[in-house]
C-alpha cells in the first residue's frame, strides 16, 4: 500500500487519514495503541519529508507476520528524492521543531534509513502485541500488568540527554527507576 505525497504541509493530514483507513481495513482498530502510535509516526516522517526536502515523497505501509488472521508487524516507509540524510537534532525547550526523530527513536521498535537511487528511504517498524497473547512480548506496564500508558523520559542517544516526556503507549515496556525498558 502506498500514497504519493506532494511537497505541501497539508499532505500530512491526508497521509494520516490514509494510514488510518488502511489500518482499519486491515483489522487494526483506531483506538488500538499500535494505531495511535503509527499515526504519530506517519505525521513525523511525512512532515520531515515535506518540510526538509520540499520534494514529492512516497508513503508506504507494509503489514506482515500474518498468523491466525492477526498482523504481527507494521512497517512504515517514507521515500523521497533528496540525498540529504536525516539529521537528528537536540531541540531546546522553547523550539517548536527538532523532536521528530527523537519521537521515532522512542516509539518505534526499530527504525533506520538508507540511500535509494537518487534519494533515501526512512523506515520504522512496530510490533503488534495482541492482548491476551502469551510470551515475553505481551509486555509489562508500570502497574505490572500488560498494557501501555507508560509515561517516561525520552532519552535520545544522539543528544545523550533527556529531550522531553513521551507518552509511550505501546506494549512491551517495563518501568524501572523512571526509565522505560523493552521487555525481551
For all residues of the chain together, what is the average pLDDT?
Answer: 74
Distance CA 47, CA 43 (A): 6
Query: Which domains, from first to last, does the chain contain?
Result: 2-131 (3.30.565.10)
Closest by CA position to 152, among listed 162, 140, 161, 137 = 162
In this structure, is the dihedral angle defined by the CA atoms of residues 137, 159, 102 and 162, taken in order, positive or negative?
A: positive
DSSP 139: -
Q: Kindly report, residue by residue over 93-124, the tens digit of the pLDDT.
A: 777 777 888 889 999 999 999 998 889 999 99
Neighbours of 108 (CB within 10 A): 22
Enter the pTM of the model: 0.69
For the ranges 8-17, 34-43, 77-86, 158-167, the lowest mean pLDDT is seen at 158-167
Amino acid at each position: 500500500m502506498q500514497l504519493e505525497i506532494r511537497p505541501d504541509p497539508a499532505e500530512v493530514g491526508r497521509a494520516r487519514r490514509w494510514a488510518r483507513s488502511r489500518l482499519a481495513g486491515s483489522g487494526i482498530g483506531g483506538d488500538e495503541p499500535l494505531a495511535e502510535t503509527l499515526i504519530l509516526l506517519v505525521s513525523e516522517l511525512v512532515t520531515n519529508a515535506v518540510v526538509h526536502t520540499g520534494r514529492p515523497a512516497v508513503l508506504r505501509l507494509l503489514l506482515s507476520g500474518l498468523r491466525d488472521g492477526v498482523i504481527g508487524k507494521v512497517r512504515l516507509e517514507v521515500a523521497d528524492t533528496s540525498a540529504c540524510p536525516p539529521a537528528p537534532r537536540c531541540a531546546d525547550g522553547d523550539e517548536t521543531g527538532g523532536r521528530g526523530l527523537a519521537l521515532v527513536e522512542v516509539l518505534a521498535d526499530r527504525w533506520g534509513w538508507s540511500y535509494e537511487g537518487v534519494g533515501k528511504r526512512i523506515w520504522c517498524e512496530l510490533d503488534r502485541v495482541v492482548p491476551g497473547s502469551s510470551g515475553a512480548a505481551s509486555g509489562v506496564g508500570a502497574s505490572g500488568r500488560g498494557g501501555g500508558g507508560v509515561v517516561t523520559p525520552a532519552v535520545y542517544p544522539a543528544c545523550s540527554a533527556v529531550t522531553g516526556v513521551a507518552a509511550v503507549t505501546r506494549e512491551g515496556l517495563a518501568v524501572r527507576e523512571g526509565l522505560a525498558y523493552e521487555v525481551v
